Copies of this chain bind each other. A is one copy, B any other.
């Protein structure tokens, strides 16, 4: 018999929908493409020398070196858990190290949370749009999504109240500089969301990869910090309604794959069991390196630098958009106070997927909105644009090309020839 696997065993594997962003990212790897598609930090800011010193310090010490390369505990490297607990306590969160689980990027946190909480058919409330990686992680476990729209102040809490009455397993929310929307949940809405969670007993999964990357305005408290009971101990048990996620991917480097979950210790205990089945533990070596790089206040300094650089890039992108898309084009976009993305809306009749095909020919790329909605078609007119990765002159040039591509689609040959 010479039956290929794909015929012989296809019926044995689960059906997966293919990932649009994956195929896209492949296209955008050509060096001539100016890519606003990924969520990549600026690699020229990676502190290579400090990483080198950290590796040297760990590996030249026999005991530390051996520990770095050996199996370790699923919960994570204790000094790193302590560092994270200490760091977030500055923001009014009562976390102890035992409330922190180190994950292989915050993508793994989403997978573990899906595993823990989602049974097939469970209703999971998400923002519309929401982070496509969360949809991808959760999809495997078969949830039914309930989507609530966001505006410039985040999720619309007036609709949330009614929705929570209908039986929701948990809410998945990105309050800071949302991916992909670029918007930030207002303090008032944060308070309301937390109050509703408490009232209806619906837990919140708060995803906060960008919270440190604010470029203007005041830091707003996380949902975790606003949940008055959160992580407070009562009679040996932890209280709280929020499971909080963050990561080193945007503040240090993504190539280490280090994220974390902060939650009541009873939740951490269950997630630890699931993580053990998923990958035993996150690389001991990368955890020790991250700790060595971050410690002594370096991470704070480094985040300060990132804020300066990314703020400037955001401003360049916003100015370029103003220039390339005058009101007459009917294109609008969000003005993020932080993070890595803005969210652009095309005028009626224009499709983001079709625009991408034109844009890629002009060597500029972005992610079309569809991937960010649980409901097919809802994102047809939206584009996610990243402003952290490309240099300022590239951002200007990329937006110019995008303007031309839209002009071309709107039948304005003058713009195309400009």
Contact = CB atoms under 8 A, between A and B. Distances in A.
A14 B119 contact: yes
A27 interface: no
B256 A283 contact: yes
Interface string A60-94: 10100111111110100000000000000000000
Contacts of A46: 65-66, 69-70
Interface stretch (A217-225, A262-270, A301-309): A262-270
Contacts of A267: 5, 9, 13
Given A5-B237, A234-B4, A239-B4, A273 B14 contact: no
Contact of A270 (B16, B111, B239, B280): B16
A19 B280 CA distance: 12
A9 to B, nearest CB: 6
A8 B198 CA distance: 10
Which of A9, A67, A240 has the most CB atoms of chain B within a 10 A radius of its CB? A9
B240 A257 contact: no
Nearest to A137: B277
Interface in A45-68: 46, 48, 51-52, 55-56, 59-60, 62, 65-68
A418 interface: no
Nearest to A51: B59
Nearest to A113: B13
Interface in A82-138: 104-105, 107-108, 110-111, 115-117, 119, 133, 136-137
A277 B107 contact: yes
Nearest to A112: B278
B203 A12 contact: yes
Nearest to A169: B12
A148 to B, nearest CB: 20
B169 A278 contact: no
A66 B43 contact: yes
Given A140-B274, A140-B277, 15 more contacts: A2-B229, A4-B234, A6-B237, A6-B238, A9-B203, A12-B117, A14-B115, A40-B70, A43-B66, A46-B65, A52-B55, A52-B56, A104-B279, A108-B279, A133-B277
The 8 A-B pairs of least Cβ separation, nearest first, read A4-B237, A69-B253, A55-B55, A5-B264, A6-B266, A255-B284, A43-B66, A69-B255
25 contacts: A5-B238, A5-B263, A7-B237, A9-B201, A12-B170, A13-B116, A14-B115, A19-B273, A19-B276, A40-B70, A40-B71, A43-B70, A48-B66, A51-B69, A55-B55, A69-B253, A69-B255, A70-B255, A104-B257, A105-B280, A107-B280, A115-B140, A255-B283, A257-B281, A283-B286
